[in-house]
Structure 1
Amino acid sequence: MPKALAFDVFGTVVDWRSSIIAELEKFGRRHGVDGDWPAMADRWRSGYAPAMHRVRTGELPWTRIDDLHRMILDELLAAAGISSLSEDDLDHLNRAWHRLDPWPDSVEGLTRLKNKFVITTLSNGNVSLLTNMAKRAGLPWDCVISAELFGHYKPDPEAYLGCADLLGLRPEELMLVAAHPSDLRAARGVGLQTAFVYRPREYGPDQPPPRLDDGEFDFTATDFLDLADQLGT
């Protein structure tokens, strides 16, 4: 049994897609702009991994997720022909990622899990983003740990091992909880325990189920309440 649980956040704890679509719709109404907001939300998110890869390979210096999100947003708005926005308007829209709503089970499930385990984020989101998100959404973290603290984005080993080290744990005493098999496989590769939580609507209603090998992860759960049941809390 682990001593602490570290949670991926985007998609695992919070529903980024519905939240960003809603923020873009409000932006469009405020500025009198029409757009395919679900498609823009998907493109904004799909730019995330390539942008991080540029940092991980050294093409870009260390750059916070807030700043990577802004780079992607500027490109999307330019491509859509949306201009003449103030810096305050652009900053507010970019900080939509600080205002993501949790999945319906997240707060209750995390609260139950916190009764037995230390619970923390382990996200590529920067510390200020994760802190603001938690404050707004009522996420009951014991601490907020970000890849920013290590200067390495997941799936670099330094992020997983750094999290364990900050908590004073051996890697095998820490369990990563995530909705993304690739994240879990990277964590497992450096000795962490793993729990997969299925979020079937992260990418919209037509999302195919992920391919998992039988018994690939230590736990497989339908949501955080199911995971709490399995972990006895």
Structure 2
Amino acid sequence: MSIKVVSFDVFGTVVDWFSTIEREARALNLPVPADQFALTWRQGYLTAITRVLSGEAPWALIDDIHYQILEEMLARFGIDDLDEDRKRHLNLAWHRLDPWPDSSAALYRLKSRFNTCTLSNGNLSLLEDLARHGDLPWSDVLSAETFGTFKPDPKVYLGAAETFQVKPEQVLMVATHQEDLEAARAAGLRTAYVKRPLEYGPTGPAKQFSEDHDFLAEDMLDLAEQLGC
């Protein structure tokens, strides 16, 4: 097999952001449905990334972007009783996201045969905290922060190949987001789609996926099996 490196999107693919953020919002008894709060925060992140890539907004760490979105959300929902410490703690919920049940075991299996790495828009400290929290045994932690730009900029995908000194086609990009995989494929990487039907929660929008990838997996353990691990 020509694949040398298996790189991963993290939010939604490896960790379950929705359940964790919903739980943290519910614990604060916020005057807004916890599921709505989680989905709104995530949508704000996606909008912010688009603005940075278009040049409308300056580069910033995801932690700072998340905090700015949080401040906007609190104002929108009329929540004014969270002090600075509680806001900072809530913002760091993104460092405490729980992994999907199959993620840790699958990564141990994959690491036995391949170099594995994050390839995420999350900043390095966030990704390192997630690795400790979820027992995610990466060979290396790579981030948009590493390359100074966000996915889907091709510099991020090509940067993974350069880091491990392999050809782009020797890097497999694993994600549950079609647009991420399309950008990786355009940069020359191979692609694997992992189904995460509950990424947006049990009542969230249905996810669309394409079978036009090198691998299509029910979860990460299925992917490890397909890769001979």
In the alignment, structure 1 residue 14 sits paired with structure 2 residue 15: yes
Percent pairwise identity: 52
Alignment match, 2:162: 165
Measured against aligned partners, the alpha-carbon deviations of 1:117-156 in whole angstroms (never above 9, x if no partner) come to 1110000000010001111111111111001111110001
Q: Shift of the alpha carbon at 1:211?
A: 3.9
1:27, 1:93 within 8 Å by CA — same for their partners in 2? no
> Which TM-score applies when normalising by structure 1?
0.94
Alignment match, 2:228: 232
State the one-letter code of the partner of 2:25: L
Q: Shift of the alpha carbon at 1:67?
A: 0.7
117, 121, 125: which one pairs with 1:124?
Answer: 121
Alignment match, 1:208: 206
- Determine helix, strand or coil for the equivalent of 1:47: helix
Q: Shift of the alpha carbon at 1:209?
A: 4.2
What is the rounded CA distance, in whole Å, between the counterparts of 1:165 and 1:113 in structure 2? 20
Structure 2 unaligned spans of 5+? none
What is the rounded CA distance, in whole Å, between the counterparts of 1:162 and 1:225 in structure 2? 26
State the one-letter code of the partner of 1:3: K
In the alignment, structure 1 residue 222 sits paired with structure 2 residue 218: yes
174, 177, 198: which one pairs with 1:177?
Answer: 174
In the alignment, structure 1 residue 45 sits paired with structure 2 residue 8: no
Measured against aligned partners, the alpha-carbon deviations of 1:39-96 in whole angstroms (never above 9, x if no partner) come to 0110000111110112112222211111111111101111111114322111110010
Give the CA RMSD over aligned residues: 1.1
State the one-letter code of the partner of 2:221: L
After TM superposition, list the pairs within 5 Å mapping 1:126-165 onto structure 2. 126-165=123-162
What is the rounded CA distance, in whole Å, between the counterparts of 2:82 and 2:20 in structure 1? 21
Structure 1 unaligned spans of 5+? none
2:170, 2:190 within 8 Å by CA — same for their partners in 1? yes
- Determine helix, strand or coil for the equivalent of 2:28: helix
Of the structure 1 ranges 166-175 and 116-125, higher mean CA displacement relative to structure 2 is found in 166-175
What is the rounded CA distance, in whole Å, between the counterparts of 1:201 and 1:22 in structure 2? 15
What is the rounded CA distance, in whole Å, between the counterparts of 1:209 and 1:20 in structure 2? 19
Alignment match, 1:24: 25
What is the rounded CA distance, in whole Å, between the counterparts of 1:80 and 1:46 in structure 2? 15
What is the rounded CA distance, in whole Å, between the counterparts of 1:97 and 1:228 in structure 2? 26
1:99, 1:136 within 8 Å by CA — same for their partners in 2? yes
State the one-letter code of the partner of 2:150: Y
Q: How many residues get paired?
A: 227
State the one-letter code of the partner of 2:228: G
Of the structure 1 ranges 91-100 and 50-59, higher mean CA displacement relative to structure 2 is found in 50-59
2:31, 2:79 within 8 Å by CA — same for their partners in 1? no
> Which TM-score applies when normalising by structure 2?
0.96
2:172, 2:192 within 8 Å by CA — same for their partners in 1? yes
